[in-house]
Structure 1
Amino acid sequence: MDSNMLITAGSHSTYHFLSLIVLLPALGALIMQLFNDKENTRPNIHRNIAIGFLSADFLLIVIVFSFLFNKQTSQLQLIERISWLPAIGLEWSLGVDGLSAPLVILSGLITLLAAIASWKITNKPKLYFSLILIQASAQALVFLSQDFLLFFLAWELELVPVYLLIAIWGGKRRLYAATKFILYTALASLLILISGLALALSGSEFTLNLSELTARSASGTFAIFCYLGFLVGFGVKLPIFPLHTWLPDAHGEANAPVSMLLAGILLKMGGYALIRFNVQMFPETHIKLAPALIIIGIVNVIYGALNAFAQDNVKRRIACSSVSHMGFVLLGIGAINALGLSGAMLQMISHGLIAAAMFFVTGSFYERTNTLSIPNMGGLAKVLPITFALFLISSLASLALPGMSGFVSEITVFLGITSQEGFTSIFRSITILIAAIGLVLTPIYLLSMCRRVFFGPRIPALAMVKEMNARELSIGLSLLLPTLIIGFWPRIATDIFENSTNALANTLETQTLISISQALQIS
């Protein structure tokens, strides 16, 4: 195991910046409870508190990762370890490296924009914005936790706000969608807990520290069972086929800001956890099962794209496209080399921005048309030219147009697979060919949706809708400009995680050589 991958290699922080990033939104939620929902003199106080605390939190994230985070190392940094419940070995243990840093930045940005997008929430605003703030704390804790039990508690905590946000502020079938979401994710969490505790108990000493669990380098049948438990548990959140069916329902019923959180952050938790746990903790097992992971990724890409064709609801079509795009994350992880892992990380960042933009713009024209049915829309380009422009740009980014982040991430994944000499040439060729079919299908279902919604027969009832305002335009641009910047200058993103993915790839390469050497000795 590469010593750079160990938590003990990093330096400890005495300023607790990571704790502040995690706890600042939760503090805002507590302060919000001092104000009454029926406070007529300040009707927007809850929204303003949420936006204020999330703005401060995002500013802190930018400062910390601009000036205190060292991009030149793969070591964990700004480590904080405080004994919390020593009786069960639980520590408040936080740390950040190249795998978690970009996702913390992404979650801070999207959560802030989702709160601003919730400008018109009038039903139970205190509860709504409190849940948004709690969600912000939970998701940051997921990415920063270095203790398994702390990670698991954060993983479970973020399920509750999402369930309530869908169940209370969703559409007509909101209870069904919210219940389906919580059942899938809660049952998956049992596998995560069982696998984690089994690994914690497997050594001579019980430990929940992630770096110590990584150092155990578990192998054999035990490692396979733990790996599969994590794969299914985290795969529900990614989501992987056939564990994805909660996603279209959740997106179809959630309001636009909640869909921004689902697509922009929650799905990325699954991808991050697969890299952090499956790849980093079980390198030997991951190498053996990588081809199976690639096959699952191909199924995701093709099935998600084909399923999108069948959707006449704009949000459900975008949700199915997310299943397809997250398949590229699986392909990158399965490539077991630096290029593949880099492509997987870049795809998570890219898809987080693009999908959040698409759901936001969809919510914008839903507020004006009161419909998400594609057959019931048409001719909107003339009355909503700015909305059309933003939706078209986000669609082009999603279909991996050269010059945008989606193209860079997906081509990097392809290069990772083609450069993996551990796979046979036939396997690599078939993988690239089938995955490329998904790339061909994507522009068909996205551009056909644009044509039917914004062109075609003009619906008379939609002739007088108003264009989006400056606030909405700012949100859209805040999501789409980074996709253009990353598309033309990928290093602004890859520099953050490159050393970590390279170190992890070196560990996998070392493990491959060890496996080959052992096989030769046996023969």
Structure 2
Amino acid sequence: MIGSQIPWITTIILLPLLASLAIPLIPDKEGKTVRWYALGVGMANFLLTIHAFWRHYDLQNSQFQLQETYSWIPQLGLNWSVGVDGLSMPLIVLSGFVTTLAILASWKVNRKPRLFYVLMLVMYSAQIGVFAAQDLLLFFLMWELELIPVYLLISIWGGEKRLYAATKFILYTAAGSIFILVAALAMAFYGDTVTFDMQQLAQKHYPIGMELAVYAGFLIAYGVKLPIFPLHTWLPDAHSQASAPVSMILAGVLLKMGGYGLIRMNMEMLPDAHIRFAPVLAVLGVVNIIYGALTAFAQDNLKRRLAYSSISHMGFVLVGIASFTALGTNGAMLQMISHGLIAAALFFLSGVTYDRTHTLAMENMGGMAKQMPKVFALFTAGAMASLALPGMSGFVGELSIFLGMSTSDAYNSSFKVVMVLLAAVGLILTPIYLLSMLRQVFYGTAKAELAMDNYFGDANPREIFIALCLLIPIVGIGLYPKVATQTYDVKTVAVTAQVRQVLPVVAQERTNLYSGKFNAPSLPKAKAQPLLGILE
């Protein structure tokens, strides 16, 4: 590991939070100085992140790096323990990139601008804290801290039904957080040593019954955030009511916390339970893919259609995690990064469209390509990336997941064929609902109330800059995937190898159980038999 005496990760986490405390002291009535200040903090923190990782992070090391541990509240066993590895580093970079652009996208906020930018910076710190935490209790606190700004940003700056959407968001996600806390306490207090350190928790040998229960708890919590059907219903409401900058962060970063938690805790820390749950994850992933795509057809609201598209695309992450192959896990990580960029671009452009038309109802749009050719071109590029056009990042991520599942030696051929074919249905449906969206919004004849001369103004330089900042890496990763994959490839290979070490043991258990030679009180026969024949 490349060492460093400077507490880089702590600085990157705390800088936005501490900087937000100065915003109320800035003498600025109209909010112009505040927005420049917030943007400067976001850019400074992002550049600091890039510098720290460029100079002090070893891409060939799968272990935690830049580790920092300080005793915080010893009475509770809570330590400020942070660090990064291949799972967290690329997502921290994604968080800084998308959040900084979201601050720039919120340039026209004139209602309570001080509070708005304070919440944006606090959320920035919480996001990085979630990905960098090595103490499970610290992870939980950062997870909870992130909920408060999102709730306020939706409830104050959202649409007509903002209070309903914000309340639904907080109820779903806070309820899911309870499962994280209960699972963390169960793991911490098991055995002779009480600890919340993730690396030490991963070394404990839990009874299989307890491990399955803890895994299920984490799955529910992260299933709400990802989101997994049927825990998804908060997401379309939140997106349809949130402002475009908040939707950028919600889709670009916050959903990725669910995928990160599944890989970090369910897969890496609980491999025995993961092997037993993996077929369930694969099925849930396919359900997400098809359900999200089909439901997107029925949405007339532009942002709700994009929200259900996100649900569909995150289903591929579940399939990749369940594949038992390094290629599939690699694809799941790439899908999270790719979707983070693509979704942020599409939700930003939906906000640009709303600023001109003052409506999100696609039935009230149409014929806007001639009046907004720049927005049309940028929106089309984002839609092409979302439908996994070759040459863009979405194609590489989804292809890796398909190949990872289809080449997995952990499943029998019938199961793999069914999963791959059903997931492929999503690839057919996605272009249909995205191209239909483009047709309704930009083609045809403009509605009478929107057909006035000079009613629309095309994208301005700031908006074009934000969209290009997101689209350029989408194309760059699509043409040269190693730009992204090299940041986590060593880690995903190590995690997959760790899980596969346990796979033969579980397979033998199931063989013995089927023949009646095995009696495991922690793995009841009635619960195991439905999975027999899926794992070879």
TM-score by length of 2: 0.94
Q: Is the 8 A contact 2:105 2:466 kept in 1?
A: yes
Which 10-residue stretch deviates more, 11-20 or 367-376? 11-20
Task: Choose from 443, 458, 461 the match for 1:455.
Answer: 443
Q: Is the 8 A contact 2:2 2:56 kept in 1?
A: no
Question: Is the partner of 2:388 in helix, strand or coil?
Answer: coil
Give the deviation of 1:461 after TM superposition: 3.4
Task: Choose from 474, 477, 500 the match for 1:483.
Answer: 474
Task: Choose from 319, 327, 331 the match for 2:307.
Answer: 319
Task: Choose from 19, 24, 27 the match for 1:33.
Answer: 24
Task: Choose from 163, 167, 183 the match for 2:155.
Answer: 167
In the alignment, structure 1 residue 515 sits paired with structure 2 residue 506: yes
Residues 265-414 of structure 1: matches in 2 within 5 Å?
265-414=253-402
Q: Which runs of 5+ in 2 are unaligned?
A: 519-536
Q: How far apart, in 1, do the equivalents of 2:276 and 2:465 lie? A: 47
Q: How far apart, in 2, do the equivalents of 1:392 and 1:271 lie? A: 27
| Overall identity of the aligned pairs, in % | 52
Kindly provide the amino acid, as one letter, of the partner of residue 398 in structure 2: E
Question: Is the partner of 1:496 in helix, strand or coil?
Answer: coil
Give the deviation of 1:288 after TM superposition: 1.2
1:6 alignment partner in structure 2: none
2:495 alignment partner in structure 1: 504
Q: How far apart, in 2, do the equivalents of 1:402 and 1:158 lie? A: 35
Give the deviation of 1:459 after TM superposition: 2.2
Which 10-residue stretch deviates more, 215-224 or 285-294? 215-224
Per-residue CA deviation, residues 288-312 of structure 1 (Å, 9 max, x unaligned), is: 1111110000000000001100100
Give the deviation of 1:518 after TM superposition: 6.0
Which 10-residue stretch deviates more, 435-444 or 454-463? 454-463
Question: Is the partner of 1:383 in helix, strand or coil?
Answer: coil
Q: How far apart, in 2, do the equivalents of 1:217 and 1:471 lie? A: 54
In the alignment, structure 1 residue 62 sits paired with structure 2 residue 53: no
Give the deviation of 1:202 after TM superposition: 1.0
Q: Is the 8 A contact 1:28 1:49 kept in 2?
A: no
Give the deviation of 1:509 after TM superposition: 1.3
1:439 alignment partner in structure 2: 427
2:222 alignment partner in structure 1: 234
2:195 alignment partner in structure 1: 207
Q: Is the 8 A contact 1:117 1:475 kept in 2?
A: yes
Which 10-residue stretch deviates more, 175-184 or 85-94? 85-94
Q: Is the 8 A contact 2:285 2:319 kept in 1?
A: yes
Q: How far apart, in 2, do the equivalents of 1:60 and 1:390 lie? A: 29
In the alignment, structure 1 residue 20 sits paired with structure 2 residue 8: no
Task: Choose from 457, 462, 478 the match for 1:466.
Answer: 457
Per-residue CA deviation, residues 422-450 of structure 1 (Å, 9 max, x unaligned), is: 10101000101111011100000000010
Q: How far apart, in 2, do the equivalents of 1:427 and 1:513 lie? A: 18
Kindly provide the amino acid, as one letter, of the partner of residue 471 in structure 1: R
Q: Is the 8 A contact 2:168 2:234 kept in 1?
A: yes
Per-residue CA deviation, residues 460-486 of structure 1 (Å, 9 max, x unaligned), is: 433421101100000000001111000
Per-residue CA deviation, residues 470-504 of structure 1 (Å, 9 max, x unaligned), is: 00000000001111000010000000000000000
Q: Is the 8 A contact 1:314 1:362 kept in 2?
A: yes
Kindly provide the amino acid, as one letter, of the partner of residue 26 in structure 1: L
Per-residue CA deviation, residues 263-308 of structure 1 (Å, 9 max, x unaligned), is: 0000000000111110011101101111111000000000000110
Q: How far apart, in 2, do the equivalents of 1:477 and 1:447 lie? A: 21
Q: Is the 8 A contact 1:139 1:154 kept in 2?
A: yes
Residues 93-132 of structure 1: matches in 2 within 5 Å?
93-132=81-120
Q: How far apart, in 1, do the equivalents of 2:262 and 2:193 lie? A: 25
Q: How far apart, in 1, do the equivalents of 2:275 and 2:328 lie? A: 13
1:90 alignment partner in structure 2: 78
Q: How many residues align?
A: 511
Q: 1:11/1:148 Cα in 2 relative to 1: closer, same or farther (>3 Å)?
A: farther
Task: Choose from 485, 489, 492 the match for 1:494.
Answer: 485
Kindly provide the amino acid, as one letter, of the partner of residue 473 in structure 1: I
Kindly provide the amino acid, as one letter, of the partner of residue 506 in structure 1: A
Question: Is the partner of 1:382 in helix, strand or coil?
Answer: coil
Q: How far apart, in 1, do the equivalents of 2:511 and 2:175 lie? A: 42
Q: How far apart, in 2, do the equivalents of 1:43 and 1:392 lie? A: 33
Q: Is the 8 A contact 2:31 2:114 kept in 1?
A: no
Q: How far apart, in 2, do the equivalents of 1:177 and 1:55 lie? A: 30
Residues 175-254 of structure 1: matches in 2 within 5 Å?
175-254=163-242
Kindly provide the amino acid, as one letter, of the partner of residue 166 in structure 2: A
Question: Is the partner of 1:171 in helix, strand or coil?
Answer: coil
CA RMSD in angstroms comes to 1.3
Q: How far apart, in 1, do the equivalents of 2:205 and 2:2 lie? A: 23
Give the deviation of 1:513 after TM superposition: 2.8
Which 10-residue stretch deviates more, 511-520 or 315-324? 511-520
Q: Is the 8 A contact 1:217 1:283 kept in 2?
A: no
Q: Is the 8 A contact 2:78 2:196 kept in 1?
A: yes
Per-residue CA deviation, residues 94-115 of structure 1 (Å, 9 max, x unaligned), is: 0100000000000000000000
Kindly provide the amino acid, as one letter, of the partner of residue 161 in structure 1: P
Per-residue CA deviation, residues 28-80 of structure 1 (Å, 9 max, x unaligned), is: 201112125xx34x641111111010000000111112221110110100000
Question: Is the partner of 1:260 in helix, strand or coil?
Answer: helix
Q: Is the 8 A contact 2:3 2:56 kept in 1?
A: no
Kindly provide the amino acid, as one letter, of the partner of residue 45 in structure 1: T
Task: Choose from 393, 406, 430 the match for 1:418.
Answer: 406
Question: Is the partner of 1:420 in helix, strand or coil?
Answer: coil
Per-residue CA deviation, residues 161-182 of structure 1 (Å, 9 max, x unaligned), is: 0000000000000000000000
Question: Is the partner of 2:86 in helix, strand or coil?
Answer: coil
Q: How far apart, in 2, do the equivalents of 1:449 and 1:334 lie? A: 32
Show structure 1 runs of 4+ deviating over 3 A.
10-13, 514-523
Question: Is the partner of 1:75 in helix, strand or coil?
Answer: coil
Q: How far apart, in 1, do the equivalents of 2:434 and 2:301 lie? A: 12
Q: Is the 8 A contact 1:314 1:372 kept in 2?
A: yes
Q: Which runs of 5+ in 1 are unaligned?
A: 1-9
Q: Is the 8 A contact 1:304 1:324 kept in 2?
A: yes
Kindly provide the amino acid, as one letter, of the partner of residue 298 in structure 2: A
Kindly provide the amino acid, as one letter, of the partner of residue 488 in structure 2: F
Q: Is the 8 A contact 1:219 1:285 kept in 2?
A: no
